[in-house]
A and B are shown apart, each in its own frame.
Chain A
Amino acid sequence: MSETPAAQLPPGLAAVAADFADTPREMRLELLLEYADRLQPLPEKYVAQIDLMERVQECQSPLYAIAELNNDAVQIHATAPPESPTTRAFASIMQLGLNGLTAEEVLAVPASAPLQLGITDLVSPLRMRGATGLLARIQRQVRAAVSP
């Protein structure tokens, strides 16, 4: 197993990558599920009006996400159904990795960041499209928020 260097990742995502690298291979799906379970509950305003969020079309399951910018700190809200735990894990990892960063820091995250987490072999490259699509949409939303 070669581990991809995570040097360009922000600290939160680098920590996720390190977490997977430090976990025996046979335990990594369990770890991914733990991340899925850490997805933050959706604020009421989005529960009431899901259309305020953006549908991540790259995901096989319905994933909605929105990146808010509060005092130049990015806050990601996302929701996906319980029967889509992999998708929930992707969303949760983005929250852990990106929340609290500045817009500039989020925009500096490499597009390939999800592929550097050490989970591609675990879930298959095709399934990783949902994660890269999610990051791309978050970055687009942040870009729109800082340069309206």
Chain B
Amino acid sequence: MSKVPFDPTAKFQEYATPGALVSTEWLAANLNTPGIVVVESDEDTLLYETGHIPGSVKVDWHTDLNDPVSRDYVGPEGFAALMARKGISRDTTVVFYGDKSNWWAAYALWVFRLFGHEDVRLLDGGRQKWEAEGREMTKEVPVRAASSYPLSPRNDTELRAYREQVLEHVSAKGCMVDVRSPQEFSGELTHMPDYPQEGTLRGGHIPGAKSVPWKRAANDDGTFKGLADLRAIYEGEKGLAAGDDVIAYCRIGERSSHTWFVLTYLLGFKNVRNYDGSWSEWGNAVRLPIAVGAE
């Protein structure tokens, strides 16, 4: 168990894992609490340099978490080296935050979980809320003593889905959540509206997937919706249940990390995997089944 107390904020207590979120108030009061490292992960890699939460370190999804050659994450050596550089130990409480309603923060958190890092928490509302509240930001990069982080195997079986497993899941009529925009789901667009064309050859979705755009789980200020609202969407409207084996996907796995977090930590689903290959793999692969249209 973590030595760092959980945030007692009332809103979080109703979620399945109350300790998975921290509020901006709590974080502001705990910036100097021993055992905590705050990690910023953004879409824009320069955002951290423009100013960040005092004491926070940066982890970039492209240049830190991805393998530089193959489309995969770093291995145990790379991850341990990254953790050592950032001054994170195996028992550190890591609080993630970032831009874009925490897409990349949730994504980084998910990668940390692949390596079995235990105490991971997300700042509700992310960078947007922290800034909107006028809280302190600094350009000063903290000098943290290098830590010793054990070589930890990356466990891809429980939280991550590969293409082959998704195909089996389709055959077994398993539950899938497509968290992209409605236009991407229907096949009308092969990229996110207002986002770069990612070069996917086919549009549409994985047969059997239900469309639940990630944004439905978030409020306009970037915070997560309350439990009742989330249940109404995923359980009431889409018919998912906490015991279901669910695969979430998007375009490259970042938006679906956000939904993976919601299903796993807020709703308490036990078997949720993120298919990080997502549409950029599925929509380009030869002979994989594709469905088009709104349903």
Inter-subunit contact A61/B63 (CB<8 Å): no
Q: In this complex, what residue of A is CB-closest to B252?
A: A126
Inter-subunit contact B46/A133 (CB<8 Å): no
Whether A124 is near chain B, meaning CB under 8 Å from some CB there, is: yes
Inter-subunit contact A127/B49 (CB<8 Å): no
Inter-subunit contact A89/B46 (CB<8 Å): yes
Inter-subunit contact A83/B197 (CB<8 Å): no
* Known pairs A60-B196, A62-B194, A130-B196; A85 contacts B44 (CB<8 A): yes
Inter-subunit contact B196/A86 (CB<8 Å): no
* Known pairs A58-B197, A62-B194, A124-B62; A83 contacts B45 (CB<8 A): no
Q: In this complex, what residue of B is CB-closest to A85?
A: B46
**Which positions 27-85 of chain B face chain A at CB distance < 8 Å?**
43-47, 49-50, 62-63, 66
Q: In this complex, what residue of A is CB-closest to B192?
A: A60
Chain B residues positioned under 8 Å from A129 (CB to CB): 196
Chain A nearest Cβ from B277, distance in angstroms: 15
Complexed CA–CA distance, A30 and B63 (Å): 16
Complexed CA–CA distance, A130 and B50 (Å): 19
Q: In this complex, what residue of A is CB-closest to B99?
A: A83
Chain A nearest Cβ from B190, distance in angstroms: 13
* Known pairs A83-B47, A123-B45, A127-B45; A57 contacts B197 (CB<8 A): yes
Inter-subunit contact B49/A58 (CB<8 Å): no
Q: Residues 83-103 of chain A: 1 if any B CB is under 8 Å from the residue's CB, otherwise 0? A: 111110100000000000000
Interface size on A, residues (CB 8 A): 27
Q: Which of B44, B63, B99, B194 has the most CB of A within 10 A?
A: B44
Complexed CA–CA distance, A143 and B196 (Å): 23
Inter-subunit contact B46/A86 (CB<8 Å): yes
Chain A residues positioned under 8 Å from B49 (CB to CB): 29-30, 32-33, 85
Chain A residues positioned under 8 Å from B66 (CB to CB): 124
Measured CB to CB, the residues of A under 8 A from B are: 29-30, 32-33, 36, 57-62, 82-87, 89, 121-124, 126-127, 129-130, 133
Measured CB to CB, the residues of B under 8 A from A are: 43-47, 49-50, 62-63, 66, 99, 194-197
Q: Sample 29 A-B pairs with CB under 8 A, ordered by A number.
A: A29-B45, A29-B49, A30-B49, A33-B49, A33-B50, A36-B46, A57-B196, A58-B196, A60-B195, A60-B196, A61-B44, A83-B99, A85-B44, A85-B46, A85-B50, A86-B45, A86-B46, A87-B44, A89-B46, A121-B63, A122-B45, A123-B45, A123-B46, A123-B63, A124-B66, A126-B62, A127-B45, A130-B196, A133-B196
